[in-house]
Structure 1
Amino acid sequence: MKIAMIGYGKMGRTIEHLATKQGHEVVLKINADNLDAFTTENLQQADVAIEFSQPDVAYKNIMTCLKAGLPVVSGTTAWLDKFEMVKDWCSNNNGAFFYASNFSVGVNIFFELNKHLAAIMSKHPAYQVRMEEIHHTQKLDAPSGTAVTLAEGILEKIDTLQEYQLQEDNLNTPDNCIPIASKRIGDTPGTHVIQYHSSIDELEIKHTAKGREGFASGAIMAAHWLIGKQGVFGMSDLLQLS
């Protein structure tokens, strides 16, 4: 598999290292320093693009790859106000796009566990839910895309909750809102905690990443799976979790 790597930060380098070990080839690496190489001709040397960049350029990057006829796997978060535009373009032009807020197999199992627990807890209104996520100091968006996906899974199952809200300075949040505490510490790959607490006890589920390799492995798996397909997909399609 020949890969065009769009965004070449820590995640891009991890993907390249792992892909090379698996026998794949990164034929194009694009970052802010070589945008002149981000051309249709160069993209068409690849079988698939893997896009891990920044929220403000993600949509443009994705569309550039799609218009070059390349299937795209994206893990950039905080650009999803334009997701429907990508979806519509793929539908009208037989494009292929794969998005995940987190490519870790463990995290995607955690997503399903979270929704199942939320469905159970919806029958026990004495419990209030809160979330915490911890990432490295270079992560720009807060709450993280993974935390947003987790919160949306809870909102889907508990009717009394209407929204999620970034919790700052320990301020109280309304009863119909999921508070999310976001912390940025060192080089932490990612930790997500969901707690249900009442006056008598507390229960918690937690996922802790040990490094970036799990995210990189999932992205490579998604890229290989996407080649030859048409449509818009996610990790539930790849892993057949639901």
Structure 2
Amino acid sequence: MKIALLGYGKMGHVIERIALERGHEIVLKKTSSTTFEGIQNADVAIDFSVPSVAVENISTSINNGIPIVSGTTGWLENYHEMVELCNQKNAAFLYGSNFSLGVNLFFELNDYLAKMMSKFKEYNVSMEEIHHTQKLDKPSGTAITLANSIINHTDKNNWAIENPTPTDVFIDVKRIENVPGTHSVLYTSEVDYIKIEHVAHNREGFALGSVIAAEWIIGKKGVFSMKDVLDLKYCNKITKI
């Protein structure tokens, strides 16, 4: 499989190593100082860039008939525009707020727990999200996916990272050096609390998941998520932006 890497930072380097270990070839390493020349030679593109260029990366791939897997977060105000473009071009597009197998299982657990807890109004739900200091978007795409699932199943209407109202899911966002990613969901009452948490030890899981997604999307048409790749029942697709 020939891969175009759209974004060649820390994640891009890890993806490259894992892809090569799995017998694939890198035909393009797109950075801020290079062009898309050579993307036509790719079987699939993997986008781990920054929010300001994600839409360009995704649309360029789609317009060139290259299936695109994107793990860049912070650009989701344009998500539906990319879905529409994908459908118009009869292309293949997969967005994941997190490609880790463990996180996607965590999504499923969070979704199921939110359904259960919706019946117990004495519990208030909140979240904590911790990432390294280089992460640009706040909160993380993973935290937004978790929060949207809670919103879909409870009486909460939105999420907030400051000055939350009683109808908001409060996300306590922290940026700490060398933290790959920690996400917690907490249900608190006057007598106890229930907490679920996922802690990433490194970037390996994210990179491996993106390569697996790229392998999976070859030959397919449509808009997908990691739910489709891993065949998980409850994992969230984007329903609210």
- Class of the TM-score when normalised by the shorter of the 2 chains: over 0.9
In the other structure, the counterpart of 1:162 is 157
Q: Gaps (5+ residues) in structure 1?
A: none
In the other structure, the counterpart of 1:2 is 2
Q: Gaps (5+ residues) in structure 2?
A: 234-241
In the other structure, the counterpart of 1:233 is 224
In the other structure, the counterpart of 1:134 is 130
State the 1:45 CA deviation: 1.1
Task: Give aligned pairs, total.
Answer: 233
Indicate whether 1:223 and 2:214 are aligned.
yes
Indicate whether 1:67 and 2:63 are aligned.
yes
In the other structure, the counterpart of 1:202 is 193
Task: Kindly provide the amino acid, as one letter, of the partner of residue 24 in structure 1.
Answer: H
State the 1:89 CA deviation: 1.4
Task: Kindly provide the amino acid, as one letter, of the partner of residue 15 in structure 1.
Answer: I
For residues 108 and 17 of structure 2, what CA distance do their matches in structure 1 show?
A: 30
Give the alignment of 1:5-154 within 5 angstroms: 5-35=5-35, 38-39=36-37, 42-154=38-150
Indicate whether 1:189 and 2:189 are aligned.
no
Counterpart secondary structure, 1:186: coil
User: Percent identity between the aligned chains?
Assistant: 52
Task: Kindly provide the amino acid, as one letter, of the partner of residue 181 in structure 1.
Answer: D
Counterpart secondary structure, 1:154: helix
- TM-score (structure 2 length as normaliser): 0.95
Task: Kindly provide the amino acid, as one letter, of the partner of residue 21 in structure 1.
Answer: E
Task: Kindly provide the amino acid, as one letter, of the partner of residue 210 in structure 1.
Answer: H
Detail structure 1 runs of 4+ shifted over 4 Å in the superposition.
none
Counterpart secondary structure, 1:44: helix
For residues 84 and 176 of structure 1, what CA distance do their matches in structure 2 show?
A: 26
Counterpart secondary structure, 1:85: helix
Cα displacement string for residues 95-133 of structure 1 (whole angstroms, at most 9, x for unaligned residues):
110100000011011001001111111111000011000
- TM-score (structure 1 length as normaliser): 0.94
